[in-house]
Amino acid sequence: GAVVSQHPSWVICKSGTSVKIECRSLDFQATTMFWYRQFPKQSLMLMATSNEGSKATYEQGVEKDKFLINHASLTLSTLTVTSAHPEDSSFYICSALLGRISYNEQFFGPGTRLTVL
Amino acid sequence: QKEVEQDPGPLSVPEGAIVSLNCTYSNSAFQYFMWYRQYSRKGPELLMYTYSSGNKEDGRFTAQVDKSSKYISLFIRDSQPSDSATYLCAMRGDSGGGADGLTFGKGTHLIIQP
Amino acid A35: pLDDT = 97
Is residue B22 over pLDDT 80? yes
Amino acid A103: pLDDT = 78
Is residue A53 over pLDDT 90? no
Q: Which A residues in the span 51-70 are in contact with B, Cβ-Cβ below 8 Å?
A: 59
Return the C-alpha torsion angle A9, A12, A16, A17, nearest 10.
Answer: -50
Any alpha helices (H) in chain B, and if so which ranges? none
Mutate to test the interface with A, among B6, B34, B39, B46 (most CBs of A within 10 A): B46
Return the C-alpha torsion angle A97, B27, B103, B40, nearest 10.
Answer: -130
Residue B81 φ then ψ, to 5°:
-55, -30
Amino acid A1: pLDDT = 72
What mean pLDDT, rounded, does chain A reach? 93
Closest-CA residue of chain A to B48: A105
CA–CA separation, B98 vs B104, rounded Å?
A: 16
Average pLDDT over residues B15-31: 96
Label residue B77 by pLDDT band (50, 70, 90).
very high
Of B99, B105, B107, the CB nearest to A104: B99
Amino acid B85: pLDDT = 96
Which has the minimum average pLDDT: A67-71, A99-103, B68-72, B75-79?
Answer: A99-103
DSSP string, B68-98: TTTEEEEEESS--GGG-EEEEEEEE-SSSTT
List pLDDT tens digits, range A55-85. 999 999 999 999 999 998 999 999 999 999 9
Amino acid B1: pLDDT = 58
Q: Which amino acid is at B67?
A: K
**Secondary structure letter of residue B60 according to DSSP:** T
Determine contact, residues A100/A82, Cβ cutoff 8 Å: no
Strand duo A32-38 + A19-25: pairing: unpaired
Q: Which B residues in the span 69-88 are in contact with A, Cβ-Cβ below 8 Å?
A: 88
Determine contact, residues A92/A99, Cβ cutoff 8 Å: no
Residue B82 φ then ψ, to 5°:
-70, -10
Mutate to test the interface with B, among A44, A77, A97 (most CBs of B within 10 A): A44
Helices and strands (H and E) in chain B: how many: 0, 11
Amino acid B40: pLDDT = 83
Beta bridge mates, A13: A116
Average pLDDT over residues B70-95: 95
Beta bridge mates, B5: B24
List pLDDT tens digits, range B1-11. 569 999 999 99
